[in-house]
Each structure stands twice: as structure tokens, then as C-alpha cells.
Amino acid sequence: MRLHGYYRSGASWRVRIALNLKGIAVEHAFHHLRRGEQTAPDYLALNPQGLVPALETDRGVLTQSLAIIEWLDESYPNPPLLPRDDAFLRARVRAFAQVIACDTHPVQNLKVLQRLRDDGMPSSAVEDWPRWVIGSGLAACEALIADRGGRFCFGDAPGLADICLVPQLANARRFGVDLAPCPGLLAVEAACKALPAFIEAAPERQPDAE
């Protein structure tokens, strides 16, 4: 398999963590987002959205990080990234992941911020936008794990929720979001960052890091 990504892409980061947790080795192809390499015709043939990640498999190409991760979890079941025998808990994990991957991350990425600038929004407002988006998203995530009983978001082993959380917290710091109201999330992050799968997936450990 070949994973197309970018070292600082939060969505690519999620897939790298999942691959590491599963112990799956893949080839890597890098596309520099700030240089627009994701819009090259050969890459658009793989992913018509012009986004990363994309995973080339022997059956074709998969896009969207959550879809890729769930496919990995179903194709390589151990260790599980979603609860196997509790449909309600599985839905809670997916809900947490979607707060980040669907409602928080997409509206604070480079493409959106550039569109705000192009539409004439003052720079101060553009800078405030991601802080508000991320802060409100993480506040919801903090509440969603208020009853957690393990080291990670939903138990004593890392899974889909934790995979989404760690990159989003890094983005939060990059945009200057106050994380003091999120002690539960920070405790989970500390547990994740002690694991090799998370350490090796970090942006600064990638060959294309700048």
C-alpha cells in the first residue's frame, strides 16, 4: 500500500497513527500542501478532491481519513480501533471522532482560511476564526469523555477517538487555543504520546518535515 500525505496534515497524521497501531508498513508519497502539489493532475486522478490523505491499495484508492481508518480496522482487526461488541459505545466513539473530523478540522484548514482572506475578511478575524472553531469543538469533546474510566478517551486502549484527538490538539496549540479548560483531553494526549505508534506518527518524525 502507498499512503499519500503531508507531514503537517492532521488527516494524514490520523492515518499514520492507525497504521502504526496496526503494525502495517506502507510506502509514503508526499504532497506539499502550501505549494499546491495536491492539485497536480496525477494526484487528482487518485483523489478528485485534491486533499490528503489517499491510500492506494490492491483494490483501488481510498480517500477520507475516517473511511481509511475504518477499512484498516475491518481488514486488520487486531488491535481493534472501535469497540467490537458494544454498538452503543461504538457510536459514541464515532461521534467523538466526527466532532473533530467533520465539524472542527475542515473549517479551520488552510483552504478555508485562505478563502476567508480572499473574501476580504480582516486578518485579525481570520486569525480568530480557527481559535473559535477549535475551542468550541474541543469543549464538546471534553464533555463527551467526562465519564471516561480509562487512560484513553473510551477505555484502556487507544482507538479512533484518540487517533483524531492528538492531531487536533497540536493544531489547537498552533493557533494559540487555550487548552486549560480541557484537562481530560490533555490527560488522554499524555497517555497517547507515551506510545511508539503515536511518537513515530508525529509530524516532526516524517521524511518531508520542514
Domain coordinates of the chain in residue numbers? 2-79, 87-197
A 10 A CB-CB count for 136 gives 13
- Contact between 162 and 188 under an 8 Å Cβ cutoff? The reply is yes
How many C-alpha atoms does 2 have within 13 Å on its Cβ side?
Answer: 11
The SS3 of residue 119 is coil
Kindly tell me the sign of the dihedral angle through the C-alpha atoms of 175, 178, 182, 183. Answer: positive
User: What's the pTM?
Assistant: 0.95
Per-residue pLDDT at 177 = 96
Per-residue pLDDT at 103 = 95
What residues of the chain score a pLDDT lower than 50? none
Structural domain 87-197, CATH architecture: Up-down Bundle (1.20)
Bridge partners (DSSP) listed for residue 5: 30
Per-residue pLDDT at 109 = 83
Per-residue pLDDT at 11 = 97
Q: What's the CATH fold of domain 2-79?
A: Glutaredoxin (3.40.30)
- Contact between 171 and 108 under an 8 Å Cβ cutoff? The reply is yes
Per-residue pLDDT at 90 = 98
- Burial-class residue 90 by CB neighbours within 10 Å (0-12, 13-18, 19+): middle
Angle subtended at Cα 105 by Cα 99 and Cα 107, rounded to the nearest 5 degrees = 110
